Structure 1
Amino acid sequence: MATKEHTRIAVRGLGGRGAPDDAVSDQRLWGSTPSAVARLLRPGLSRIAEQVIGEIVLRIPEYSRPADETYVKIVRLAVDEALRQFVDRIENPSRPLEADVFRTIGRGEANEGRNLDPLQTAMRLGARVAWRRLTEQAEDLGLTPQQLYDLGEAIFVYLDQLADAAAEGFDEARARAAGEMERRRHRLLNLLLSRPPASPDAIADLARTAGWRLPRTVAGVALDERCGGYRPPSLPPDVLAGLDRPDPCLIVPDPGGPGRAQTLEAGLRGWKAAIGPAVPLSAAATSLRWARETLELGRRGVLSGRRGLVRCSDHMATLVVFRDEELVNALAEVRLAPLAHLRPSQQDRLAETLLAWLRHGRGAGEVAARLHVHPQTVRYRLRQLEELYGDQLSDPDVRFELEIVLRARQAVGSRPA
């Protein structure tokens, strides 16, 4: 996008030297031309305007719209206004620029989706035509070489002022459009997370006005509060962000797409975050809820507490177990009752051995390798467990329930063996 400074540089490049920066020099340039010249120029302004418009339409494709009467009127208004004010400044050098028309032109360029390059080109063409006409009429206008030179330089000072006004309007419109688009994207995020789910038509309509392509799937991302010193997340443009919500979150479209995971990981560096599973649009709130549960388990130390992105899909079993902790605790009281009379250290050792036995097989050697203890130690502990549990360890349902409560016990933290 062309900036205001780029426009200044472009138009100054037309003159022999840079435009003066102070108001005194500015007025000197305009004041060096006799005010009577303005009266001589006014009758021929319409002819010059036709030449300028003809050059613009011929040479700049963006402005070549002969069938668009509204657009032709806008171009004509701009040229007429520029020439009128130019002549007025010759007559009254202290007259300030009336910038509204040119701010409107700048806003129009932004609304048309263009940058300032076509406008710069149009200004250069206009300046050339005006300068050519002045030099052709210099003798009839009674201009000395110095006056003609000062008037030529005044043209480029004037172009600089027009460029500033157009750039202000351009930046204004772009900022307004960006703000409106951001508001629409916030409304879209709220709609996707609404309960009950919004209708597909409502989502599609708002997505269209927000410039958001409807994906096949989405995933919710829950964000922890940011620690001091870490940068805001750097997100792909199609990610919907709710960073100002009480519980910051994101909606990621097509989370399984090529390179998406790596981009998201890099963008969330410095944050603690959890991403829910990929789901249809209508289930975005569910994905985010699972992500928040995953993040909360991370805060508690049940899951990895490292910074970065934790994937809900890697911890589904843990999420299921901790979905109703009161129920798991009640089950634990029943299934771990045979260990209740032991010292805490004994409970921990036997619980760890029993979980390894349930998870990795019933051979003492394999269990010992997993626990990094001697096989004889494992055999001793297994005999203790057989005495405590008896025939219960032969029941598949009991073994399943034991693994649930032992996994939960291990997740919340137990003493090392």
Structure 2
Amino acid sequence: MAIKSDTSESRISTDVVKTLRSGIGRVTEEVIEEIQTRIPEYSRPSDQIYIKVVRMAVEQAIEGFLDRIEHPGAPWNPEPFRMIGRGEAAEGRSLESLQAAMRLGARVGWRRLTELAGPLGLSPQCLYDLGEIIFLHLDQLADAAAEGFEEARAHVAGEIDRRRGRLLDLLLSRPPAGDEAIADLAEAAGWRLPRTVAAVALDDQHGTCRVPRLPSDVLTGPERPVPCLLVPDPAGPGQAQMLERALRGRRVAVGPAVPPASAATSLRWAGEALELSRRGVLPRGLLRCEDHMATLVVFKDEELVSALAEVRLAPLAHLRPTQQDRLAETLLAWLRHGRGAGEVAARLHVHPQTVRYRLRQLEELYGDQLADPDIRFELEIALRARQAVTACPARRGA
């Protein structure tokens, strides 16, 4: 990296540079002391390795400044300060402390220069030129450190993303992974292991699934066969609102809360709910499996439910479709909400006398079957399935 030549640099005499070099040791000690006194992050009196790193950085900064004066057009190697920037990122600090240390070192250097101006016979113009070089040099050091810092952060972020991807694969594996393996990989990925998780299945009908901006503790898997998220502690404070905000306007399904080792089960239920939403059996938007468990159970084996419906709804089969719909609706309300005509009428928003008439028809059609609790249970399953399918827009338009 070449440093652009500056006419001001050429006005500094070789004798001045030699004199400044002779005082490097004293200035270095003063800069280090000032930094460690005024910036707590760099005060580690018992850490000899770290003290050596700080000393090396200060010495290289001062040597680089003097080299710049002595050889204005010479190439400059920014790698040492890129390395320092990477070290700051590895320590988990921001660049503020490093930048403050650099500014402090520049002030100490400038102070010493002004003290030497008289003995060295430096003219005001010469002193001005030296000050300009100090701040230009400071900018270059800061830029190199920032480059290294961002490189390190990008590398760490990429590694964390890869580890979290492997963690999500492990959590969603079948058969379930062991608790110890999950805990080890969670620690390596910097992910606090929660008590429960909920999988979120994302709609991917167009082949591309963009993940919205989410908190860092939400694991994301947009490229998985079922694009998904994994939300820690879904019942925790603010988690429901966070999902509502992030996923508003999208077709998604949130699986039930389960222990981390059972995350695959939560995703399976979420995927089934999403598919029922696509078919119109469940509404679109953000679905929570916990709000639709009965429908999910009913549609778990549709062939079996269809066979059950064929048997239990056979007494209605010979009626006109509109009659079937009215009697099925009345029977389901009667099974779900009690056997009083008044309560059923209130649920259906019809007159109680209408309900009594329909119930008499049902008694004629079903006879003693309605007194059997097992048959009533099977009827409710069949009628719930019928109601869900009837409400499906695709089926209504067929």
Shift of 1:302: 1.2
The residue that corresponds to 2:390 in the other structure is 413
Q: Percent identity?
A: 71
The residue that corresponds to 2:31 in the other structure is 52
Bigger Cα displacement from structure 2, 335-344 vs 311-320: 335-344
The residue that corresponds to 2:300 in the other structure is 323
The residue that corresponds to 1:4 in the other structure is none
Q: TM-score, normalised by structure 2?
A: 0.91
> Does the CA contact (< 8 Å) of 2:3 and 2:76 recur in 1?
no
Between the aligned partners of 2:112 and 2:206, the Cα distance in structure 1 is 65
The residue that corresponds to 1:126 in the other structure is 105
The residue that corresponds to 1:168 in the other structure is 147
The residue that corresponds to 2:12 in the other structure is 33
Size of the aligned set, in residue pairs, is 392
The residue that corresponds to 2:41 in the other structure is 62
Q: Secondary structure at the match of 2:53?
A: helix
The residue that corresponds to 1:353 in the other structure is 330
Between the aligned partners of 2:259 and 2:68, the Cα distance in structure 1 is 64
The residue that corresponds to 1:377 in the other structure is 354
> Does the CA contact (< 8 Å) of 1:26 and 1:157 recur in 2?
no
For residues 285-324 of structure 1, the aligned pairs below 5 Å read 285-305=264-284, 308-324=285-301
Between the aligned partners of 1:219 and 1:312, the Cα distance in structure 2 is 10
> Does the CA contact (< 8 Å) of 2:36 and 2:43 recur in 1?
yes
> Does the CA contact (< 8 Å) of 1:35 and 1:92 recur in 2?
no
Query: Which residue among 378, 382, 387 is the counterpart of 2:364?
Result: 387
Q: Secondary structure at the match of 2:134?
A: helix
The residue that corresponds to 1:95 in the other structure is 74
> Does the CA contact (< 8 Å) of 2:4 and 2:73 recur in 1?
no
One-letter amino acid of the structure 1 residue matched with residue 170 of structure 2: L
Gaps of 5+ in 2: none
Shift of 1:237: 2.3
Query: Which residue among 328, 333, 341 is the counterpart of 2:310?
Result: 333
The residue that corresponds to 1:200 in the other structure is 179
Is the aligned partner of 1:403 residue 2:393?
A: no
Gaps of 5+ in 1: 1-22
Shift of 1:232: 4.3
Shift of 1:29: 2.9
Q: Secondary structure at the match of 2:23?
A: helix
The residue that corresponds to 2:256 in the other structure is 277
Query: Which residue among 214, 225, 238 is the counterpart of 2:204?
Result: 225
* Gap change, CA 1:58 and 1:356, over 3 Å in 2: closer
Between the aligned partners of 1:182 and 1:24, the Cα distance in structure 2 is 38
One-letter amino acid of the structure 1 residue matched with residue 363 of structure 2: E
Instruction: Provide the alpha-carbon RMSD of the alignment.
Output: 2.4
Q: Secondary structure at the match of 2:12?
A: coil
The residue that corresponds to 1:84 in the other structure is 63
Shift of 1:159: 0.5
Shift of 1:36: 4.2
Shift of 1:401: 1.0
Between the aligned partners of 2:28 and 2:254, the Cα distance in structure 1 is 61
Shift of 1:226: 8.1
> Does the CA contact (< 8 Å) of 1:37 and 1:90 recur in 2?
no
Shift of 1:231: 7.9
Query: Which residue among 120, 125, 128 is the counterpart of 1:141?
Result: 120
Between the aligned partners of 1:341 and 1:226, the Cα distance in structure 2 is 40
Query: Which residue among 321, 339, 348 is the counterpart of 1:344?
Result: 321
Shift of 1:312: 0.9
One-letter amino acid of the structure 2 residue matched with residue 367 of structure 1: V
Q: TM-score, normalised by structure 1?
A: 0.87
Shift of 1:227: 8.3
> Does the CA contact (< 8 Å) of 1:226 and 1:271 recur in 2?
no
Shift of 1:35: 3.9
One-letter amino acid of the structure 2 residue matched with residue 344 of structure 1: P
* Gap change, CA 1:373 and 1:132, over 3 Å in 2: closer
